[in-house]
Amino acid sequence: MYKGINFLSHDKLKYNPKYLAASIFFNPGDVFKDTLRNLTRNHLKSLKNFKTTNISFTPINSSGDELKMDLFLTPIEKFTTGFETELTHSNIRNIGTSAKFSFIDRNVFRGAELLKLSVLGSWFNSNNGPGWEIGEMLL
């Protein structure tokens, strides 16, 4: 329970409720607005930690003036690796090739963060002779 929001999980909750609650734009007792549902869904998708976000509303009492919101999140795998290759040709570079390896760790500190490490290497043959580049990126 955090700020009037009940968080339920199959196993131990792997996300800090404080950070998930910051992405939910409905508060207990507020008037329903469909724009807030879209804002909540878009904000949760922008975290890039969840495959699906499903928001449903059901009436609490027979008068229908109160709604219960259920928000179902399906997390993406915690670790992802990727490998990309590319073959290029242009008027500056006669021929070139590159490879990129990336590693992504989601929810590093339980706040829905992304840690992304990428390493890029390329070799090319230009009008001035052969060359190479190496780069890295950490987000």
Q: Burial-class residue 56 by CB neighbours within 10 Å (0-12, 13-18, 19+).
A: exposed
On whether both 69 and 84 belong to a single domain, the answer is no
Same domain, 94 and 70: no
Residues 39 and 65 in one domain: yes
Judge if 126 and 83 occupy the same domain: yes
Within a domain: residue 10?
no
Is residue 11 in some structural domain?
Answer: no
Tokens of 107: 């929810």
- Check whether residue 52 and residue 97 sit in a common domain: no
Q: Whose CA is closest to 84, among 75, 95, 97, 93?
A: 97
CATH number, domain with residue 67: 3.10.20.310
Report pLDDT digits (tens) over 7-61. Answer: 888 888 888 888 888 888 887 778 888 888 889 899 889 888 888 888 888 888 7
100-138, pLDDT tens digit by residue?
A: 999 999 988 888 888 999 999 998 887 777 888 888 887
Amino acid occupying residue 10: H
Task: Tell whether 2 is covered by a domain.
Answer: no
Q: Are residues 70 and 83 in the same domain?
A: no
pTM, two decimal places: 0.70
Write out the residue range of the structural domain in which residue 69 sits. 17-75
Number of domains in the chain: 2
| pLDDT tens sequence across 68-86 | 888 898 888 899 999 999 9
Q: C-alpha angle 72/4/58, rounded to 5°?
A: 50
- Let me know if residue 7 belongs to a domain: no
87 and 124 both lie in a single domain: yes
89 found inside a domain = yes
Q: Which of 75, 94, 110 is the last residue of a domain?
A: 75
Q: And the tokens for 126?
A: 């230009």
> Helix, strand, or coil here: 114?
strand
- Kindly state whether residues 91 and 48 are assigned to the same domain: no
